[in-house]
Structure 1
Amino acid sequence: MKLKLHLLLAFLGVFLFADLQAQQFRALVFSKTAGFRHQSIPDAVVAIKKMAKDHVFSVHTTEDANYFTDENLSKFDVIILASTTGTILNEDQKAAFQRFVQSGKGVVGIHSATDTEYQWPWYNQLIGAYFLAHPQQQTLRLEVVDQSHPSTWHLPKNWLWTDELYEFRDINPNIKVLINADESTYEPAKPMGASHPMAWYHEFDGGRSFYTALGHVESAFQDADFLKHLYGGIWYAATGENPTQ
């Protein structure tokens, strides 16, 4: 009986190890809010879980900031900030997050990830900008200015989109803009002019960051083009893969 039990445990161990090995990368989805809470957060979590199944990566979701320890974060290749808002991490948790990035890992910000941690300059540089304002939800022309990134390979140069359209302040000059908002096609709240980034990426402090301002509306997480855009950003942030560079 004991021999059979040992054989069963050994088999399960091999199976679990093989399953972990089969995953491309490991993602942590963090969706804690300390300010406005977007109704699309559950849609984002469900969509990313399905994405993980379709694209063969593992995903863990949490809203518990206590999870941000060196031991826990070491298990992941990318942290996805799914419409976080406000001050969501204490000093110890911030330090663990910084060490995660500095170890060569990636971060993805969705929509209000720029409406987060306003008193933390390191985070501002990592995520790329802070939220300033937004008008009512509208349809506009998004100009895909860089079609060489995994998040934009599939997109047309002119992309018609409907969403809550962010305007930004304190933009990191080192970000590499992927998508720009054409302000002549909608009514902004606080115009930014010809340079109005809506998605970008960059390397920062040893790691990588990708951000998309899209994703306020629930329907975004059922849109095939947006989901490919998001997955391309996750793949880049998790693996560092950008084959055209």
Structure 2
Amino acid sequence: MTRILIYSRNLRFWHASAVDGARAFRELGERHGFTADATEDPAAFRPDALRRYAAVVFLSTGGDVLDEAGQDALRAHLTAGHGWLGVHAASTTAYDWPWFEGLVGARFAGHPPIQTAPVRVADPGHPATAHLPARWEWTDEWYDFRSDPRENGARVLLTVDEADYRGATMGRGPAHPLAWCGEHDGAPTFYTSLGHSPEAYADPAFRTHLLGGLRHLGISP
């Protein structure tokens, strides 16, 4: 059976929702024919350990969560064509590792207080967004990024209009990016900035969003 690895080590701000996220991925796997193993142990990032995984999920990771050997192992695994999916705080990971910035697509810069705003579907033709209405009411931390992922060739899937909430600093107006997909150094990639709260991972629409990201990586039919 196809296996994915869920990694949630965070040295900056550990998210309690990572527990709920790991459970959501396991339950998606039970329903859709893959196995999800969860860990916070950086020793999982060695060639022999990674070999059995078709994709790696960074679930609200933060800081320098891999040593040099782990970075080398992850890079080799992904450049061999395996997939990578990042959720929420994954964009706060490994600021001093330039290759990772290309992987995630854009670096976290900050966020205002949690608010509700309508998420806009920028690309309804993707399995992570096809099920969503054109405007989807959602409550989350609306991340600002240090750059626009479009500048790195990403396909932006979800946006939010900065006029619809307070505290935006990115200056992208209605095109403020929230989720995107792409390819980096041979690896299919997917990132969503959504998923701060534990409640998010019980939401069927958000679970389908995550499942669509895995499908982008070739996981699950």
Classify the TM-score, shorter chain: over 0.9
Contact 1:84 1:113 in 2 (8 A): yes
1:175 paired to 2:157: no
1:33 paired to 2:10: yes
Please state whether the residue corresponding to 2:117 is helix, strand or coil: strand
RMSD: 1.4
Q: Highest relative contact order (Cα 8 Å, sep 6+), 1 or 2?
A: 2
| Residue 209 of structure 1, aligned match among 174, 185, 189 | 189
Deviation at 1:170, TM superposition (A): 3.3
What are the equivalent positions in structure 2 for 1:79-228 lying under 5 Å apart?
79-172=56-149, 173=151, 174-194=153-173, 195-228=175-208
TM-score normalised according to structure 1 size: 0.86
| Structure 2 residues not aligned, in runs of 5+ | none
Deviation at 1:192, TM superposition (A): 2.5
Counterpart code for 2:179: A
How far apart in 2 are the matches of 1:137 and 1:183?
14
Contact 1:167 1:192 in 2 (8 A): no
| Residue 69 of structure 1, aligned match among 46, 62, 65 | 46
What are the equivalent positions in structure 2 for 1:4-43 lying under 5 Å apart?
23=1, 25-43=2-20
Deviation at 1:211, TM superposition (A): 0.3
Q: Percent identity?
A: 37
Structure 1 ranges of 4+ moved more than 2 A: 191-195, 238-241
Please state whether the residue corresponding to 2:167 is helix, strand or coil: coil
How far apart in 1 are the matches of 2:187 and 2:93?
19
Larger Cα-atom Rg: 1
How far apart in 2 are the matches of 1:210 and 1:119?
21
1:160-203 Cα shifts (integer Å, max 9, x gaps):
11111101013441111000111111113424222310000001
Contact 2:32 2:220 in 1 (8 A): no
Contact 2:103 2:184 in 1 (8 A): yes
Deviation at 1:240, TM superposition (A): 9.9
Contact 1:79 1:106 in 2 (8 A): yes
1:220-244 Cα shifts (integer Å, max 9, x gaps):
0011100000111012124498xxx
How far apart in 2 are the matches of 1:203 and 1:224?
27
How far apart in 2 are the matches of 1:64 and 1:133?
27
Contact 1:52 1:59 in 2 (8 A): yes
Structure in which a larger fraction of residues adopt strand: 2
Please state whether the residue corresponding to 2:62 is helix, strand or coil: coil
TM-score normalised according to structure 2 size: 0.95
| Structure 1 residues not aligned, in runs of 5+ | 1-22
Please state whether the residue corresponding to 1:203 is helix, strand or coil: strand
Contact 1:130 1:171 in 2 (8 A): no
